[in-house]
Amino acid sequence: MKILTFNGSPRKKGNCSILLQELLRGAGDAGAECEEIWAQDLDLKYCRGCLRCNLLKKCSIRGDDWENLSSKILAADALVFASPVYFHHVSAPLKKILDRFRSFVHVQIRENGLVHTPWHTWKKDFVLLMPMGASQSAEAQPAVDLFTFITGILGDENRLHTVLGTRLAANRQVSMDREELGNLYEKLQLPGNLVEKDYYKNQEIIKICYECGKNLAMQNK
């Protein structure tokens, strides 16, 4: 089985990367074939809204990485999108990719709204993995809604899994040991009694990511 991951963070060693590596470790241990993509490293143009994909059944933009990338997306059993929460949403490099997903569907305007019909049969696992600075995961709701929408229009049989990590404002915070976390919380003037609790919370999300990767690989065997 194939897993394609997208990392939408500009931090190469940030929270998204750490969590994604755990997911990949789990998937690798269960025998999955994985490929990692850095969203910001792609040579990708913005969707230009020409709507020609409605006729061509593919994106009309030529000369960038989309043709190659779209083949990989279609061939994958699971797609993992890791992004820091940026103003309640996914980061811009990831959104740029998601807008190009428009070319995977035919859209009709009807009196009651838009009707989306995918060009291909989709039966994939989607994972949305989002660390955030806030203490409440509701902070990521607009991004969760976006993924609920996209996975839904691409096919009823798609499955969406969300992994949301709270109170992760600093670089690499998710993998900090108690001492490092304690120093950080002192600097941030956060209550000291949160250190132990958050240390376990962070260990837990790392574990969840490993298990998520493993389950993806097992389910798609």
Q: Which of 1, 14, 185, 220 lies at the binding interface for ligand FMN (CB under 6 A)? A: 14
Closer to ligand FMN by CB, 38 or 101: give it: 38
Select from 92, 188, 97, 71 the least CA-distant residue to 135: 188
Structure-derived torsion over alpha carbons of residues 81, 151, 144, 100, reported in degrees to the nearest 10: 60
Alpha-carbon separation of residue 43 from 8, 32, 37, 38, 48 (angstroms): 14, 26, 12, 11, 15
Closer to ligand FMN by CB, 98 or 105: give it: 98
Alpha-carbon distance 177 to 79, whole Å? 30
- For the bound state, the minimum distance from the C-beta of residue 221 to ligand FMN, rounded and expressed in Å, comes to 30
Among the residue ranges 23-31, 51-59, 103-111, 127-135, the one whose residues contact ligand FMN (CB under 6 A)? 127-135
Among the residue ranges 44-52, 82-90, 96-104, 183-191, the one whose residues contact ligand FMN (CB under 6 A)? 82-90
Alpha-carbon separation of residue 114 from 100, 109, 148, 158, 221 (angstroms): 18, 5, 16, 20, 35
Q: Which of 74, 134, 146, 194 lies at the binding interface for ligand FMN (CB under 6 A)? A: 134
- For the bound state, the minimum distance from the C-beta of residue 211 to ligand FMN, rounded and expressed in Å, comes to 20
Phi, psi (deg, nearest 5) at residue 85 = -70, 120
Q: Which of 26, 84, 93, 213 lies at the binding interface for ligand FMN (CB under 6 A)? A: 84
Angle between helices 66-75 and 92-100 (to 10 degrees): 80
Q: Which of 1, 3, 85, 217 lies at the binding interface for ligand FMN (CB under 6 A)? A: 85
Is 78 among the residues that bind ligand FMN (CB under 6 A)?
Answer: no
Select from 78, 84, 86, 88 the least CA-distant residue to 35: 78
- For the bound state, the minimum distance from the C-beta of residue 210 to ligand FMN, rounded and expressed in Å, comes to 17
Interaction site with ligand FMN (CB under 6 A): 9, 11, 14-16, 84-88, 131-134, 139, 168-169, 171
